Amino acid sequence: MLPIFKSIPTHMDYKGQKLAEQIFQGIILISAGIGFVYGLIIEQFGWTVYIVLAGFAVSCVLTLPPWPMYRRNPLSWQPALPESTAEPSQKPQESTKKKKHK
């Protein structure tokens, strides 16, 4: 089961992450304000909790899956170096890199 979940892409770029954070904070704060006022009016705190939970569910749907609006500024990576031309000079560097990673 785990390999299937790992193959679904869930990344966002940095501006998308910032946008997602602002979106969920705004939604939860707005639903908390609405819920507080509504619970104060009808004198039941249960409705306040329900409204905040609804805001939580809406922000879950909006920010947890990686929608295309969060991927509008992708990072431009440099092109990968082909390995066949740089083999003799890169072998000791590769072995030291492997030691550092482990």
Partner 1 sequence: MNTVLSRANSLFAFSLSVMAALTFGCFITTAFKDRRVPVDIHVSKVMLKNVDDFTGPRERSDLGFITFDLSADILPIKPIFDWNVKQLFLYLSAEYGTKSNSLNQVVLWDKIVLRGENTKLNLRDMKSKYFFFDDGNGLRQTISLSLSITPQFSLLLRLRALVSS
Does the protein bind partner 1 through residue 32 (CB under 8 A)?
yes
Which position among 2, 34, 54, 60 is part of the footprint of partner 1 (CB under 8 A)?
Answer: 60
Does the protein bind partner 1 through residue 10 (CB under 8 A)?
yes
Does the protein bind partner 1 through residue 17 (CB under 8 A)?
yes
Q: How far apart are CA 55 and CA 51, in angstroms?
A: 6
Contact by Cβ (8 Å): 51, 31: yes
Does the protein bind partner 1 through residue 25 (CB under 8 A)?
yes
Least Å from the CB of residue 6 to partner 1: 11
Cα–Cα distance list, 87 to 79, 83, 84, 100 (Å) = 17, 6, 6, 20
Does the protein bind partner 1 through residue 56 (CB under 8 A)?
yes
